Amino acid sequence: MLILGIDTSCDDTAAAVVEDGKNMLSNIVSSQNEIHSKYGGIVPELASRRHIEMIIPVVHEAMRKAGAGFNDISAIAVSRGPGLIGSLLVGVCFAKALSFTRNIPLVAINHLEGHIYSIFLEVKPKYPFLALVVSGGHTSFYRVDGFGLYSELGRTRDDAAGEAFDKVAKLLGFGYPGGPIIDALAAKGNAGAIAFPRTFLKESFDVSFSGLKTAVLNYTKKYPESKKEDIAASFQSAVIEILIKRTIDIARSINVKNIVLSGGVAANSALRKQIKEKFLEAGLEVYLPSLDLCTDNAAMIAATGYYHFINNKIADYTLNPKAYLTLGAADG
């Protein structure tokens, strides 16, 4: 069974064809980094306009690469949120039009659920598992008991981890996206050079990154001559410590051993290395998707769409995207 996945939630135009929720026949991502880099962040209107230009070529390429025709497609799965509303509208309108004209069922996907299911394209972890979605827009911890059974156990109170990477890169004078830039810079720096704060909220499993970001800003103002590599490495090590410690705390408290990592920040090389070591020590099993499945893509939307489709969760043509959308039992 082939599902066509479409994602235009943020700044990448993505389409993919996935067979039976796991075999990736194509996974096309048209990046807009070049457009947004000079602004140090995404400019929403430019993102929507680029999606309008790219959506048809990207879907065509995904179909061509998969060697599929629209008659072979069992369902079209599209991200309906959360994300930038002008970006989401392009994907949702396109998916509705294609579904209507070709008479192919439409499936609406929560982008966060898509991130969690990206690992299913490579290996199927056993339920229950703890999923950490750590991206440019979100940093949340979910207990996953099965398809559609999600409970959020903690989240960021302010900036998402990826957003903190992007803002720190910008204040160090680099472009967007900042995560890969900081990742590369940090590899040449000393992570112990600067003791940036690690905030652990006591009354919940929530995390916070805005104080850390402000500490980096204050440090760069106070010591303008300091090595950017050391700042990057010290900042990155604080983010990693917060994420790893919180994940271990939550896993212990709910007695779950399988941990699934997802979202753009899960592509961070130091996080991937340290998480493997620290989780092994803590007796936890970690599932890390390949790098191109961590960042936004449509294969994860198609894979999630497969589970919606076989569970008869079909969208109707009143489907409207939502910029703000949580992930829980009621709205998965």
Q: Which residues bind Zn ion (CB under 5 A)?
A: 135, 296
295 binds, among ligand KG4, Zn ion, none (CB under 5 to 8 A by kind): ligand KG4
Piece of the chain touching ligand KG4 by CB under 6 A; list 85-93, 172-180, 298-306, 324-332? 172-180
Task: Let me know if 312 is exposed, middle or buried by CB neighbors in 10 A (0-12, 13-18, 19+).
Answer: exposed
**Residue closer to ligand KG4 (CB basis): 21 or 114:** 114
Least Cα distance to 238 among 204, 301, 189, 276 occurs for: 189
165 binds, among ligand KG4, Zn ion, none (CB under 5 to 8 A by kind): ligand KG4
Rule CB under 6 A: which of 271-310 touch ligand KG4?
A: 295-296
**Residue closer to ligand KG4 (CB basis): 86 or 98:** 86
The CA-based dihedral angle spanning residues 94, 95, 96, 97, taken in that order and rounded to the nearest 10 degrees: 50
Q: How many CA atoms lie within 13 A of 260 on its CB side?
A: 30
Q: How far apart are CA 236 and CA 225, in angstroms?
A: 19
**Residue closer to ligand KG4 (CB basis): 32 or 135:** 135
Is residue 165 involved in binding ligand KG4 (CB under 6 A)? yes
H-helix or E-strand spanning residue 28? strand 23-30
Is residue 268 involved in binding ligand KG4 (CB under 6 A)? yes
Applying CB under 6 A, among 113, 166, 229, 230 the residue interacting with ligand KG4 is 166
Beta-strand ranges (E) seen in 91-200 are 106-110, 129-134, 139-146, 149-155
DSSP state of 283: T
For the record, the structure tokens of 108 come out as 């609406």
Applying CB under 6 A, among 8, 135, 237, 304 the residue interacting with ligand KG4 is 135
180 binds, among Zn ion, ligand KG4, none (CB under 5 to 8 A by kind): ligand KG4
**DSSP per position, 170-212:** HHTT--S-HHHHHHHHHTTS-TTSS-----B-SSSS-B--HHH
Applying CB under 6 A, among 114, 136, 289, 332 the residue interacting with ligand KG4 is 136
94 binds, among Zn ion, ligand KG4, none (CB under 5 to 8 A by kind): none
Site residues (vs ligand KG4, CB under 6 A): 10, 135-137, 162-163, 165-166, 177-180, 183, 263-265, 267-268, 295-296
